[in-house]
Amino acid sequence: MPLLLLDLDNTLLDRAGPFRSWGQRFLDGIGAPPADIDWLLSIDADGLTDRWDVADAIRDRYALRIPSIDLVEELHDGVVAYTRLDPLIACALRIADQAGWVPVVVTNGTVRQEEAKIRKTGLDRYVADWVISEEAGVSKPNPRIFALAAQRVRMPLRGAWVVGDGPEADIGGAAAVGLPSVWLHRGRKWADGRFAPTRTADGLIAAVATVLAR
């Protein structure tokens, strides 16, 4: 029974699509030109920019009076409102489970993700457990967060695979802990010379198929 350690954003749950949907609606609401969505996407950097910094950048650009904290909330709730679990991804997790793999989510970010994303989308019914960096006190790529995930489900890390779209957090993390990995490329080329994924896939479903066929 090997572990399948899975990233959350843009691996199990699409984040880029919901962020864009929220951004378009938000810009429209404040009367900004629709083309500004490209600026917003670049500021967000695929979720890597701290939400407070995104909120400040928006306030500065549009000279908004709304307090940063309200904008941070709006951003969080807005993106979550558009977040859905793809039924085919749920299906892939079931197949992995039936093949004897134990899926565990390993994600960086705040504990709010548990309610807002993992439970609300129903993803909790398809994974054995989850580890969130804020609550764990350690973030990917630190190997300790993967060890913690194994502890949660009382399984050895040996034999586990890591699947994620983050070159540093997911693939760097897997390399640091000595585990094989599948990188979801999302149209990007691998560019890090320090480590490399064991396999590359164009989405979670293909990644699960790769791991099951290893």
Pairing of strands 3-6, 102-107: parallel
Applying CB under 5 A, which of residues 4, 6, 10, 171 lies at the interface with Mg ion?
A: 10
Structure tokens at 128: 């054995």
Applying CB under 5 A, which of residues 2, 7, 106, 148 lies at the interface with Mg ion?
A: 7
Phi, psi of 163 (to 5 degrees): -125, 130
Instruction: Closer to Mg ion by CB, 32 or 182: give it.
Output: 182
At 106 the three-state DSSP class reads strand
Residues in contact with Mg ion, total (CB under 5 A)? 5
Task: Tell me the closest approach of the beta carbon of residue 11 to Mg ion, in angstroms.
Answer: 5
Task: Tell me the closest approach of the beta carbon of residue 159 to Mg ion, in angstroms.
Answer: 23
Rounded Cα–Cα distance for residues 93 and 28 (Å): 37
The amino acid at residue 82 is Y
Phi, psi of 182 (to 5 degrees): -120, 125
Binding flag, residue 44, Mg ion (CB under 5 A): no
Task: Tell me the closest approach of the beta carbon of residue 14 to Mg ion, in angstroms.
Answer: 10
Residue identified by tokens 């701290």 is 50
Rounded Cα–Cα distance for residues 79 and 25 (Å): 11
The amino acid at residue 38 is D
Rounded Cα–Cα distance for residues 55 and 183 (Å): 30
Instruction: Closer to Mg ion by CB, 32 or 142: give it.
Output: 142
Pick the piece of the chain touching Mg ion (CB under 5 A) from 6-14, 33-41, 63-71, 191-199: 6-14
Q: Residues 140-179 vs Mg ion: string with x where CB under 5 A?
A: -------------------------xx-------------
Applying CB under 5 A, which of residues 2, 3, 5, 9 lies at the interface with Mg ion?
A: 9
Q: Which residues bind Mg ion (CB under 5 A)?
A: 7, 9-10, 165-166
